Copies of this chain bind each other. A is one copy, B any other.
């Protein structure tokens, strides 16, 4: 009981704080999911990004990783056109990198079981790199993550290393990923809705459950007929990305759930 009261306090505190993000507000495409979760007593969100194309400029350390405090030349949560990127790249003085970053969401959950429910929703909706974190005092978070990104170095010490034609080609792919990302957020909202309804009706209305299950497993063709065990998320993702060569030290046990 003390745990539940503590969760309530955390939630009130967290939602009462100012939004410290650069943008200062929740992205429009993420807002329905964020609002739906925060309206539930068992969840609250702690950060979110709907997905974006980002052009960064900064020096790279010996590890090939851009240093902190690099400059943002461009950021957009909408489809992106070549001329905007080309114009923004004129401001690059160091190593510019174009990234597509998909939807990301952090949700604090009242219990591990609540986190498991939400984790299943995430996996069902295609966010296969999602995972739970449990702190020492029992604070339970779900991170909703996709594998569905791009990270493309474009310039070196201010010198553009690719053609405008390449940038156009790259943005076609980035925009397709943005579109797919949006579909996955919608799927997440829909699966969340069904999971919450299922929870409410629980064991007493098995027919409704079945109907909801059918609605929620509407996925893209490439995902059909695949294992749904959340414990195989990463391998599953790898397999889907045509990436089946992991050094498997022991086969997955698929009969979990």
Contacts and interface: CB of A to CB of B under 8 A. Distances in A.
Contacts of A2: none
A205 interface: no
A177 interface: yes
A249 B15 CA distance: 7
A243 interface: yes
Contacts of A25: 247
- How many copies of this chain does one complex carry? 2
Contact of A247 (B23, B163, B220): B23
Interface in A220-244: 220, 222, 229-231, 233-235, 239-244
A50 interface: yes
A131 B134 contact: no
Interface in A239-257: 239-253, 256-257
Contact of A65 (B50, B54, B180, B247): B180
B48 A247 contact: yes
Interface string A152-174: 11001000011101100110111
A14 B250 contact: yes
Interface of A: 10, 13-15, 17-23, 25-27, 30, 34, 38, 44-50, 54, 56, 58, 60-70, 72, 75, 101, 104, 106, 108, 112, 115-116, 119, 129-137, 139, 141, 143, 145, 148-153, 156, 161-163, 165-166, 169-170, 172-177, 179-180, 183, 220, 222, 229-231, 233-235, 239-253, 256-257
